[in-house]
Amino acid sequence: MQTAPRDDHAEGERPRGPWDYPRHWIADVLASDGGVVHLRPIVPDDADRVVRFHSGLSERTRYMRYFGPTPTLPPREVARMTTVDHRNRVAIVAVLGGEIIAIGIYEGLAADGKPESAEVAFVVADEHQGRGLGPILLEHLAGAAAENGFTRFEAEVLSENPNMVAVFRDAGYQISRAFDGSTVHVEFTIDPTEAMLSVRNDRERASEARSVANLLRPASVAVIGASTDPKKVGNALLANIIAAGFTGPVFPVNGSDRDGEPDDEQGGSAHDAARAGATRQPQRRHRGPARAPRVRPPSVRGIRAYPTVRDIPDPVDLAVVAVPAASVDEVLDDCMVKGVRALVIVSSGFGESGEAGLESEHRLVQQVREHGMRLVGPNALGVANNDPSIALNATLAPRIPPLGRVGFFCQSGALGIAILDTAAHRQIGLSTFVSAGNRADVSGNDLLQYWDSDAATDVVLLYLESFGNPRKFSRIARRVSRSKPIVAVKSGKGAMSPVRAARTAAASLDDRIAQMMLEQAGVIQVDTIPELFDCASLFAYQPLPRGPRTRIIGNSSVLGSLAADTARSGGLEVESTIDLGAGASEDEFEASVAQAMADPGVDSVIVVFVPPVAVDLDWHARALIAGANTPDADADKPIVTTFLAVEGIPPGLMRPGPSGLPARGSIPSYSSPERAAAALARAWQYARWCARPEVPVERPDGIDPEAARTWVREAMWGLPDDDSDDDPGVDTGVDSDDSTVGGADPVTVLDDVDSARLLEWYGVEVVPFREVSTMHEASAAARDLGFPVAVKATSPAWRGRLDREGARLDLPDATAVVTAFAEISELTGDNVLHVQKMAPKGVGTMVRMRDDPSFGPLISFGLSGRTFELLGDDGYRAIPINALDADELIDEPRSAPLLYGYRGEAPVNREALVDLLIRISTMADDIPEIREIVVDPVLCSPEGAAILNARIRIGPVPTKADTGPRRLS
């Protein structure tokens, strides 16, 4: 989830006055070691912090920054550094624990005759050098400079400081260098390039993966709230960590809560308390005078306990917190002082319990991040890592599946224990498991980044209630899916708490959009948890099919028919169905399986086996294994079975691996032929996606993005920043001139002339038109445009409504134009009408880009008209799209055959439509301030795609945008 935008600064470092800077420049970022650092613009009240920061720098660092010994900063220099205009001079500070640890600054060079250039410099505290803070500051300074109209950075660097030059070069910029004695003058353009974006994404992936590794690979763990009562949550957590054999030290922490009750969860049983226990709202404590210490239990489960985490003499990497929500604040204070790197909070009573709890959750995340930590939870089930060198089970589940090669991320804590039990029952081994609960900080995107480079994980399973940053999810998932299958259950609002569902009510979560977005990213979407594990069993133990041809072998014609029907409906081609009969022998089964596995005309095999009478069944299992592993068998051909309706890997079908666990080559069994065939069909759909060419997102020619960005940002001045926690973009259409999108934040609705002008910078031309307010102007405009023309109403109730006589078409002369103007003005009451040149007749279509609150920026395509809109006959893709995405999007609507030459009509110019989709996608991707683009209708004909109407909305950059400098969402 996106945390609520904070006030200007963390508690304890709040400025004394209001400072006017763009709030979207505030960001939490990850250093290269996975630690969190807070960025914000500098303010005058930072003067003392700047002095302390400078005094803490080594002599060498000061020399490299100031080109000479500078033991202290003069007051004038301090004032100059901290008093900036946030346009021509911008300074950004990196803050950790309330203290500045790095400063970056740029200053415009207009006085030197270079209005497009700014000089950039930054310095990082010695103890934080090597954490990648310089490149992060550079990214954010470049983003701010671009917003303010700068296009180039310059820097003066000592020649003996090659590391600074490397910062610019390694960021992906094309730098030019000029040597002048002891200094190097560096220049480069700051426009985003493919190389720069690639570097940014690679660094983001590495830092986010490292931050998750800090959670899943701790060297030591503290359990805060480790009660001596075996029925309490803290005791259960400690017991599970011990039972799993965690390889590092474990420190129980058992103090007293702020009400004098024993430390622990909400006081019920371990499972009940963690999942649905207390509803007490966390509140900021009033710290009174210290009380006399109480007698502490010397140990919990035979391990020495400590009153607080501060009292632990050794370092603590991970703290697992199981105290009442009202006590989390004080625990957090202790963890900050101790230097804990990551937290898992199982306590409930936060965002799932009401608005007050949600506000407490926002404050919790803010405080955690400002002290460099990451958080799983609150209301989490916990985390687990089966790596034998870690052996961590910091969850409330007493039983977790054995070691395997499947990674599992689950938002729902309530389902977590059942999910783990099901995985263990079906012998699906896990590499790692995270149940994030409210997902206040660490999300599925972070885990995807980790699993992408995790050699111990081959398959990824996700249970998602919502997308935290959908655009980022789409980008990451598309990359990960190329090498590892991702299977996801996407639940709707029904799985959310009432508070969270209400906050997204306007979004109207659309399963169809979710499915299209997941398919575009190569994610295999299923509807239920059993289907999730059906796919996991196949991906974990069997190869992907190379084609759609499947052979069904069985001893029941009825079950074989069920498998065939499901296979065909899932996109498989049933090559043949072989019914061996109820009395089939072991040799017959083995021979049939062996023949299918060796047949190059068969891509996959489904074996349906049901014993007709009580017989020794081991021989059937031996027959399947033997037939699947003959010398002529294709080892890259998947085989699945319904073996006695058993789910998982029956002992007879298991190929033993390390420690006796199933290894690849084991044959998964399903409870019904339909489920076996459905899993195989999904595997083929995924294999087909993987075989698609990796078409790059190419930028169209003939565009001027800088001119468009500049125009939009100038038009944006005066609009407030986006302080909304909810993204806007609810489907408002083009019929409203409201100044908000979905009521969430302010936007500007561009008029037709400005919308057309903005589109022109991206090579998209609206059919020429003129705005007219008198008959004389209408007549003159028609003559200027050339007959025939159309006269159209412009008010929202009449725009594009040919059925309501709001337009007159094919007007051949001035007399007809004047008559039409008079009639439409009287009918509609419009003071301004449009006179537009007639376009070639064609099929009316609509292209829309909108920033959806649940799925991020989407582009949709469908036929124009209220009938098609009412039926929801359109397709969606997440932006940016490539040519293949655009081509497939055109075919998505059920009414798409109308474009191909329906009933003798000439087919439309498909290439022109693909080009239009790519240009609109590129425009929206380049300029996140564009919140909605609607071109409707677009008349598609053999000659091309003619746009008759266009409307654009602009507004503050969404808080979950995946553009610009790196930041945590």
Distance between CA atoms of 372 and 752, rounded to whole angstroms? 48
Nearest CA to 547 out of 501, 483, 498, 604 is that of 604
Contact 649, 639 (CB under 8 A): no
Q: Label residue 819 by pLDDT band (50, 70, 90).
A: very high
Q: Which residue has the tokens 């590092």?
A: 248
The token duo for 478 is 């598309």
User: Phi-psi category of 372—alpha, beta or left, where left has phi over 0 and alpha has psi -120 to 50?
Assistant: left
Q: What is the pLDDT of residue 68?
A: 85
Write the pLDDT tens digit of every residue in 406-451: 999 998 777 888 889 999 988 899 999 999 989 999 999 999 999 9
pLDDT of residue 741: 38
Q: Is 869 a residue whose pLDDT tops 60?
A: yes
**C-alpha pair distances (Å), 731 with each of 735, 736, 848:** 11, 11, 10
The bridge status of strand 549-554 relative to strand 604-609 is: parallel
Helices (H), 692-745: 705-716
pLDDT in tens, 253-273: 998 533 333 455 443 344 343
Mean pLDDT, range 217-223, rounded to an integer? 98
Three-class secondary structure of residue 534 per DSSP: helix
| pLDDT confidence bin for 865, thresholds 50/70/90 | confident
**pLDDT at position 276:** 36
DSSP state string for 151-206: -EEEEEEETT-HHHHHHHHHTT---EEEEETTEEEEEEE-S--HHHHHHHHHHHHH
d(CA 234, CA 269): 10
pLDDT at 926 over 60: yes
pLDDT at 287 over 80: no
Q: How confident is the model over 813-839, as a mean pLDDT? A: 93
- Average pLDDT estimate for 775-801: 90
374, 365 Cβ separation under 8 angstroms: no
Domains in the chain: ranges and CATH: 23-191 (3.40.630.30), 212-281+298-534 (3.40.50.261), 542-691 (3.40.50.261), 698-767+841-969 (3.30.470.20), 768-838 (3.30.1490.20)
Q: Is the pLDDT of residue 293 over 60?
A: no
Categorize the per-residue pLDDT at 889 as very low, low, confident or very high, splitting at 50, 70 and 90: very high
What local confidence, expressed as pLDDT, does residue 262 receive?
A: 40
The three state secondary structure string of 205-270 is: HHHHHHHHHHHHCCCCEEEECCCCCCCCHHHHHHHHHHHHCCCCCEEEECCECCCCCECCCCCCCH
Show the CA angle centred on residue 8, arms to residues 4 and 12, nearest 5°.
105
Structure tokens at 638: 């998947």
Whether 295 shows a pLDDT value over 80: the answer reads: no
Is residue 228 over pLDDT 70?
yes
* Structure confidence at residue 492 (pLDDT): 56
Contact predicate 184/165, CB 8 Å: yes
**Within its chain, how far is the Cα of 292 from the centroid?**
48
Work out the burial of residue 610: count CB atoms within 10 Å of its CB; fewer than 13 is exposed, 13-18 middle, 19 or more buried: middle
Spatial distance between the Cα atoms of 844 and 935, rounded to a whole number of angstroms: 11
Higher model confidence: residue 506 or residue 398? 398
- Would you call 402 exposed, middle or buried from its count of C-beta atoms within 10 A (0-12, 13-18, 19+)? middle
pLDDT reading at 925 higher than 60: yes
Share above pLDDT 70 across residues of the chain, in percent, rounded to a whole number: 87
SS3 sequence of 271-308: HHHHHHCCCCCCCCCCCCCCCCCCCCCCEECCEECECC
Q: Give tens-digit pLDDT for 683-702.
A: 999 999 999 888 888 899 99
Residue 824 CA, chain-centre distance (Å), reads 48
pLDDT band at 740 (very low <50, low <70, confident <90, very high): very low
Q: Which amino acid is at 923?
A: M
Between CA 681 and CA 526 the distance in angstroms is: 12
Residue 464, Cβ density class (10 Å: 0-12 exposed, 13-18 middle, ≥19 buried): buried
Q: For the chain, what's the residue count? A: 969
- With a cut of 80, say whether residue 960 has pLDDT above it: no
Average pLDDT over residues 876-898: 92
Amino acid at 448: L
Residue identified by tokens 């640890």 is: 101
Average pLDDT score over residue span 381-410: 94
Residue 415 is encoded by which pair of tokens?
């389902």
pLDDT given at position 4: 33
* Interval 492-549: pLDDT, tens: 544 444 444 444 433 434 777 888 889 999 999 999 999 999 999 999 999 999 999 9
| Cβ proximity of 505 and 742 under 8 Å | no
> pTM (2 decimals)?
0.85
Asked whether residue 248 carries a pLDDT value surpassing 90, the answer given is yes
Q: How confident is the model over 361-371, as pLDDT tens digits?
A: 999 999 999 99
* Residue 690 CA: distances (Å) to CA of 173, 473, 478, 519, 535: 32, 18, 10, 11, 16
pLDDT in tens, 109-166: 998 889 999 999 999 999 999 999 999 999 999 999 988 889 999 999 998 998 898 8
